[in-house]
Structures are given as structure tokens and as C-alpha cells.
Homo-oligomer: A and B are copies of this chain.
Amino acid sequence: MALDREETGERVLAIAEVLLNEGGMDNLKARTIAEQAGISVGSVYNLFSDLDGVHRAVNMRLLDRLGAAGAAAMADLSQRGITDVRQRLLALAGAYVRFVEAHPGSWPALLAFNRRRPTLTEPDAYEARLDQLFEIIAGVLAGGDFDLDDDTRRIAARTLWSSVHGIVTSGYAGRSVRRQADEIDRQIELLVAVFIRGLERGGTFAHAGTTAS
């Protein structure tokens, strides 16, 4: 075999992603990878420490792709001269929805994976890729005339992301397929509309602890 070491690593990752995408987390089996990649079981463990290591690597690629999709959507709008905040936020959310739909198995697997390990050694490279997304959203927010201080804008960006994420993920735990898409779209539109109107009214979002004990 005249395959570079790194090249077979990429091959394994591609195979692993297909397996995850088709059958979810418990479809990622060492023997299947080895068979489909034309190598032995042990070699998989030579290239990656664990099966978890393989999954982690696949997840990194997924996050990179998601970030690229978001950036591409923004670049597309910029090129078309569209600066409207509402349209930009809807485009970002739409990019996320399409991304999830394009990865029906591997994206849920990423989420399930993060849930399985109660935050061990992985957060560094992981959240770095997420921060990239938050900054895209924060940039869009900075384009509006909301006059938010940096800290509040940061929180708002993360809140928007978390909310869209929640809408999409709980949406796909639901009923049929067409009802899902429509429900998700409506929730996202309402969220974005309400968010913009709410931020426009200005005022302070002081972090005063007034939670009823």
C-alpha cells in the first residue's frame, strides 16, 4: 500500500463520518472502520488513541464545516449588499438548519458525544471553534443600532446561538418531517423578530439577581 500515514488517517475519518451519519454513535465500530479502510483493527488504534479519539476528530471537522457555512452565508449577504440585521440573523439560523439537515446522523452524534463525557480534557479546541461562531453573531449584532455594551452583546450573541440550537434540536426530536421543518422555521422567525424588537427598545439588561429563592 502506497498510502501516506496522514492520508489513511483522513480516510479513516471520512469512513467514520459516514458511519456516524448513517447509524449514529453506536455504528462507529473499530472493526467496521478497519475493514472499510483496508487496514487492521490495531492500525486504527495506532492512528488514533481511542474510538473516542476518532469521534473527536470527526467532530472537529464538523465544527469547522459549520463555521465555514456560517461565514459563507455572511459573505454571500455582504456581496449582495445586504446589511439588514434581521436578514443576516435569519441567514445564519438557516445555515445552521441546513447544516443539521445535511448531517442527520453525525451532528446528533456530536451532541450525544459531548453529553457522554461530562467535560473532560477536550474543551480547548472545542470551544475555540464555537467562539468563532459567537463572534460572527456578535458582529451581526454590532451592525444594528442597538447600542449594547460589549459584554451585553456577547451575552446576547450566545443567547441567540443557544436558542436557535435549542429550537433545532428539540424540533428534530418531534413528529413527522414536514411538520418539523415548518415548526422550526416559525420558531426561528419568531425568535429573531422578538429578539430584534426587544433589543431595539434599549434599556439596561442589568444582571441584578432577582431570582425568587
Binding site for B on A (CB under 8 A): 24-26, 77, 82, 87, 90-91, 94, 104-105, 108-109, 111-112, 114-116, 118-119, 123, 127, 152, 155-156, 158-159, 161-167, 169-175, 183, 185-187, 189-191, 193-199, 201, 203, 205, 207, 209-212
User: How many copies, total?
Assistant: 2
| Max count, chain B CB within 10 A of own CB: residue among A25, A162, A207, A212 | A162
Main secondary structure of the interface of A (DSSP, over half): helix
- Taking a contact as CB atoms under 8 Å apart, the answer to whether A159 and B187 are in contact is yes
CA distance A119 to B172 in the complex (A): 9
Beyond A82-B212, A119-B173, list 20 extra A-B contacts (CB 8 Å): A94-B212, A111-B111, A112-B116, A114-B173, A119-B172, A119-B175, A127-B174, A127-B175, A155-B183, A155-B190, A156-B190, A163-B163, A165-B166, A165-B169, A166-B170, A169-B169, A186-B207, A194-B195, A197-B197, A197-B198
